[in-house]
Amino acid sequence: MVKIICETGYCSGVNKAINKLSKAAKESNKVFLLHPLLHNIDENDKLMKENNASYLEDSSDYEDNSSLLFSAHGYRFSDYEKYKDKLKLFYGTCPIILARYKLLEKNNNDYYYIFLGKGNHEETMCFIDNFPFLHLIDTNLDLNEQIKKLKVKNKKIFFIPQTTISNLKKEECLSILEKDNDVIKKLDICLSYYNRIKEIDTFLSKVNKVSILLIIGDKLSSNANEIFNFVKNKYPDIEVYIENSFERIKEIDIKNKDIFLTSATSTSKENVLLIKKQIENYLL
């Protein structure tokens, strides 16, 4: 059996970024990006090629009517200042992240702002750059140690998690902070991604045969990794892989097993359906 077990394909934020890319391509001679538009390098490169987009470098020549497109994960305000008079700007940034920028622009000295995220993720790095008053807690490091170092006590906390971190990490961090502080405001992780995990959980909880879960996506994708970690921890008997192409999947022993499919939010539904067909043909 080869079965897609939950919602797959791009989330609304990634869809918006792709629409902005084609709008920028139609309305300008040349489109530049500073970072990948989405965390799926194969799909990103294909989209850039189709839209004649390239990465902006110091040596890049701006033709008249060239544009700069900010990626789905966010942008730095310093880049806005640097390029606003030289290039036409397009915002591929997810509306959830843009809404958070707006909220933080009205920062209030009454709060102690904490951002919980992967320190090396573009979304986190942009937040920290744009809002220097944020205190970063890195999900890649020990939470207790970092909170101890911050010496945060009796504060009114405003808590912002990166949109695609683990819900468990978020809850763990909140429970440590809440011991000595009042967490007055807390934002949540992104439901587009988290609902996928919940659907996967509901489905896998009823599975009892030897099976494989294939997360179609790029290993760079934060949400693909979070789905992977969630399944690995909760369902250790299920083999789980993040792969972006049938060529790689063929190297896994998939015969005589149930194959379940999901995808990262930066992988197209077309790619998931194509890979499903390729697996079915291979297993015939």
Part of the chain binding ligand SF4 (CB under 6 A), chosen from 172-180, 187-195, 198-206, 243-251: 187-195
Using CB under 6 A as the binding rule, whether residue 231 contacts ligand SF4 is answered as no
Using CB under 6 A as the binding rule, whether residue 8 contacts ligand SF4 is answered as no
Q: Nearer Cβ to ligand SF4, position 71 or 146? A: 71
Residue from the set 32, 127, 158, 193 that interacts with ligand SF4 by CB under 6 A: 193
Cβ at position 19, least distance to ligand SF4 in Å: 13
Contacts of 187 (CB under 8 A, 6+ apart): 100, 159, 160, 161
Cβ at position 170, least distance to ligand SF4 in Å: 14
Give yes or no for a contact between 66 and 101, defined as CB atoms under 8 angstroms apart.
no
Chain residue at closest Cβ approach to ligand SF4: 13
Using CB under 6 A as the binding rule, whether residue 12 contacts ligand SF4 is answered as yes
Using CB under 6 A as the binding rule, whether residue 94 contacts ligand SF4 is answered as yes
Angle at 10 between CA 9 and CA 14, to 5 degrees: 170
Contacts of 151 (CB under 8 A, 6+ apart): none
Using CB under 6 A as the binding rule, whether residue 204 contacts ligand SF4 is answered as no
What is the sign, positive or negative, of the torsion defined by CA atoms of 203, 140, 41, 242?
negative
User: What does the alpha-carbon distance between residue 144 and residue 154 come to, in Å, rounded to a whole number?
Assistant: 17
Token representation of residue 67: 């544009």
| Contact footprint for ligand SF4 (CB under 6 A) | 11-14, 72, 94, 96, 163-164, 190, 192-193, 223, 265
